[in-house]
C-alpha cells in the first residue's frame, strides 16, 4: 500500500486546477445505461472509483471506453445482456448500487449486491429499496443480492409517491434512474438538492426525460419510452474545491488560486469559510484564497445541501486545530465520521469527540509523525495536517485518497508542498 512522506510547515502559493466531480460523474455514468445509443462524458476524473464503476458497467456487457488523458468516457449500453452487479465489485464502492435503478429502468430486471459498510459504519440502502417498492417494483433479497423486477406485462414501473426520510443523495439518484424510462408517474418527496442531483436531472432531460421540480425537494417524473445517448460536460468537484479552500487558509503566507471551479455549487460554505478571517476573490471560474493572519474559531453543523457538507467535515476540523480558540464540529449526516481524530491528536491536536461532535481546542502546533488513513475525506485531512505540521510525516494507506482526489501530490507539489509518494514495492526494498 502506497504512502506519502510529507515535509510540512511551508506556505502554498500558486494555481490548482480543480478536476471533474467524482460524485457528480457516477450518477451520469449509471444514467447513460438507460439510453438507446452511446453517451460521451467529458471532464471525468481518472480516479479509482471511476475505474471501478467502469468495470461494474462492463460486467453487464456494456461497451465502456475511458481515456484518462482527455478525461473522456464513452458508454454504449446497446450490448447489455447481463443485468447484474457482483459483490466483489459493489463492495469496493457504494455508488455501484446505482446499477439497481439503471438496470431496472433499462430492462425491467436487476440483480445487484448489497453494498458493504464503510470505514465509519454501516451505510443503509433501505430508502432505495422502499422507494422502488413504493413505485411498484417487486424486490427480494437473495443471498446478499437485491433482485428487483418490474411487474409482469406492466410495461414498466407504475410509479407513485415516496418521501425520503432522511433526505438521501443516493436514493434520489436511484429512484430517478428507475422511473425516467417507462410509464411511471412518480413523485419523490424530500429529494436531495445537491448539485450532483441537479446535474443528473439536467443530463436526463437532455436525454429526453420528463422531470419537474429540479433543484427543489419534490421531483415529479413522467416516464418516457425512449432516452437517447448524448454528449455532456461534467461539473467541477465542489468537495475538492472546498478542500483546497480550507488548505489555502491553514498557513498565513499561503496564496492559492483555484481554477476551473463552479462557485455556484458551493452552497453556503463560502460564508462559513470567510468567518475564519480568510478572504476570497472570485473572477469567473477562478477563486483566489488569501489566508488570514489569525484563524478565527468557527463551529459548524453538517446538513444536507446547501448546508455545511459532511464531506468537508474532517477538513474543517483540521483547520480548526489552527484556530485561536475553541470550536465544535457536529456531523448530523454521519454521526460517527470521526475516525481521523485520533490521528490528528497524534500530530499534536487537542480534540475530544463527544457523541456526534468534535470539540477542538486551538491553536496547537502540529509536529510530524506517521498517521493512518481510514477513509477518503479522513485521509485528505491528514495530508492537510501533515502539510501544516513542522517536520516530516508519513500518511499511510493513501489508496483511500486515490479514490477521490486526482493527482493530489502533483497538484500540491506544484504550489510548494513537499509530498513524496512511496510505492508499496519500494517500501519492501
User: Least distance (Å) from ligand EPZ to the CB of residue 220?
Assistant: 20
Q: For the window 112-151, what string marks contact with ligand EPZ as x by the rule CB under 6 A?
A: -----------xxxxxx-----------------------
Q: Which one is catalytic: 46, 51, 118, 280?
A: 118
> 71 vs 196, which CB is nearer to ligand EPZ?
196
Identify the helix (H) or strand (E) that includes residue 420: strand 419-422
Using H for helix, E for strand and C for coil, what is the string for 91-133? CCCHHHHHHHHHHHHHHCEEEEECCCCECCECCCCHHHHHHHH
User: Least distance (Å) from ligand EPZ to the CB of residue 310?
Assistant: 5
Using CB under 6 A as the binding rule, the residues of this chain from 164 to 193 that contact ligand EPZ are: 166, 168-171, 192
Cα 108 from chain centre = 28
User: Least distance (Å) from ligand EPZ to the CB of residue 63?
Assistant: 23
- Taken in order 175, 180, 186, 187, is the CA torsion positive or negative? positive
Per-residue burial over 31-53, b if 16 or more Cβ lie within 10 Å, else e, is bbbbbeebbbbebbbbbbbbebb
Q: Which residue has the cell 471560474?
A: 285
Query: Measured at CB, which residue is nearest to ligand EPZ?
Result: 170
> 123 vs 352, which CB is nearer to ligand EPZ?
123
> 8 vs 101, which CB is nearer to ligand EPZ?
101
Identify the helix (H) or strand (E) that includes residue 371: strand 370-372
Residues contacting 265, CB < 8 A, separation 6+: 195, 235, 236, 238, 241
Query: Is the CB of residue 312 less than 8 Å from the CB of residue 305?
Result: no
Per-residue burial over 196-227, b if 16 or more Cβ lie within 10 Å, else e, is bbbbbbbbbeebbbebebbeebebbbebbeeb
Strand partners, 330: 301, 357
- Regarding 333 and contact with ligand EPZ (CB under 6 A), the answer is yes
Q: For the window 365-404, what string marks contact with ligand EPZ as x by the rule CB under 6 A?
A: -----------xx--------------------------x
User: Least distance (Å) from ligand EPZ to the CB of residue 107?
Assistant: 23
Q: Edge to edge, what strands does the sheet with 300-302 contain?
A: 300-302, 325-331, 357-362, 350-354
> 94 vs 421, which CB is nearer to ligand EPZ?
94
Using CB under 6 A as the binding rule, the residues of this chain from 9 to 38 that contact ligand EPZ are: 23, 26
> 49 vs 394, which CB is nearer to ligand EPZ?
49
User: Least distance (Å) from ligand EPZ to the CB of residue 374?
Assistant: 12
Q: Which residue has the cell 457528480?
A: 24
> 355 vs 429, which CB is nearer to ligand EPZ?
355
CA distance 356 to 397: 25
118 a catalytic residue: yes
Using CB under 6 A as the binding rule, the residues of this chain from 272 to 291 that contact ligand EPZ are: none
Using CB under 6 A as the binding rule, the residues of this chain from 89 to 108 that contact ligand EPZ are: 94-95
- Regarding 63 and contact with ligand EPZ (CB under 6 A), the answer is no
Binding residue count for ligand EPZ, defined by CB under 6 A: 24
> 116 vs 252, which CB is nearer to ligand EPZ?
116
405 — phi, psi (to 5°)? -130, 115
Which residues are known catalytic residues?
118
Residues that bind ligand EPZ (CB under 6 A): 23, 26, 94-95, 123-128, 166, 168-171, 192, 196, 310-311, 333-334, 376-377, 404
Amino acid at each position: 500500500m502506497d504512502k506519502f512522506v510529507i515535509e510540512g510547515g511551508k506556505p502554498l502559493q500558486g494555481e490548482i486546477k480543480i478536476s471533474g466531480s467524482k460524485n457528480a460523474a457516477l450518477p451520469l455514468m449509471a444514467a447513460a445505461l438507460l439510453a438507446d445509443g452511446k453517451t460521451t462524458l467529458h471532464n471525468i476524473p481518472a480516479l479509482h472509483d471511476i475505474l471501478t464503476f467502469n468495470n461494474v458497467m462492463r460486467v453487464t456487457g456494456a461497451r465502456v471506453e475511458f481515456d484518462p488523458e482527455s478525461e473522456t468516457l464513452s458508454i454504449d449500453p446497446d450490448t447489455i445482456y447481463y443485468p447484474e452487479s457482483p459483490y466483489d465489485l459493489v463492495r469496493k464502492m457504494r455508488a455501484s448500487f446505482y446499477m439497481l435503478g439503471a438496470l431496472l429502468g433499462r430492462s425491467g430486471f436487476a440483480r445487484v449486491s448489497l453494498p458493504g459498510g464503510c470505514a465509519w459504519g454501516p451505510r443503509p440502502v433501505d430508502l432505495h429499496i422502499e422507494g422502488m417498492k413504493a413505485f411498484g417494483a417487486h424486490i427480494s433479497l437473495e443471498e446478499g443480492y437485491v433482485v428487483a423486477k418490474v411487474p409482469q406485462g406492466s410495461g414498466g414501473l407504475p410509479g407513485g409517491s415516496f418521501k425520503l426520510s432522511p433526505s438521501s443523495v443516493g436514493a434520489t439518484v436511484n429512484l430517478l434512474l428507475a422511473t425516467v424510462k417507462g410509464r411511471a408517474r412518480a413523485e419523490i418527496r424530500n429529494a436531495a438538492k445537491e448539485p450532483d442531483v441537479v446535474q443528473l436531472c439536467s443530463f436526463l432531460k437532455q436525454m429526453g426525460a420528463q422531470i419537474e421540480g429540479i433543484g427543489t425537494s419534490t421531483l415529479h417524473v413522467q416516464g418516457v419510452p425512449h432516452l437517447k445517448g448524448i454528449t455532456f460536460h461534467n461539473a467541477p468537484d465542489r468537495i475538492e474545491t472546498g478542500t483546497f479552500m480550507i488548505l489555502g487558509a491553514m498557513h498565513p503566507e499561503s496564496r492559492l488560486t483555484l481554477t476551473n471551479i463552479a462557485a455556484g455549487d458551493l452552497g453556503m460554505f463560502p460564508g462559513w469559510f470567510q468567518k475564519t478571517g480568510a478572504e476570497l476573490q472570485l473572477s469567473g471560474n477562478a477563486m483566489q484564497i488569501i489566508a488570514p493572519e489569525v484563524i478565527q474559531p468557527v463551529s459548524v453543523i453538517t446538513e444536507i445541501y446547501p448546508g455545511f457538507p459532511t464531506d468537508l467535515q474532517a477538513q474543517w476540523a483540521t483547520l480548526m486545530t489552527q484556530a485561536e480558540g475553541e470550536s465544535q464540529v457536529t456531523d448530523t449526516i454521519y454521526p460517527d465520521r470521526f475516525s481521523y481524530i485520533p490521528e490528528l491528536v497524534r500530530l499534536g491536536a487537542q480534540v475530544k469527540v463527544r457523541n456526534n461532535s468534535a470539540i477542538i481546542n486551538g491553536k496547537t502546533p502540529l509536529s510530524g509523525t506517521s498517521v493512518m488513513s481510514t477513509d477518503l475525506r479522513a485521509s485528505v485531512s491528514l495530508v492537510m495536517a501533515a502539510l501544516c505540521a513542522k517536520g516530516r510525516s508519513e500518511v499511510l494507506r493513501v489508496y483511500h485518497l486515490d479514490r477521490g482526489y486526482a493527482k493530489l501530490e502533483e497538484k500540491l507539489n506544484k504550489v510548494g508542498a513537499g509530498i513524496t509518494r512511496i510505492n508499496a514495492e519500494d517500501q519492501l526494498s
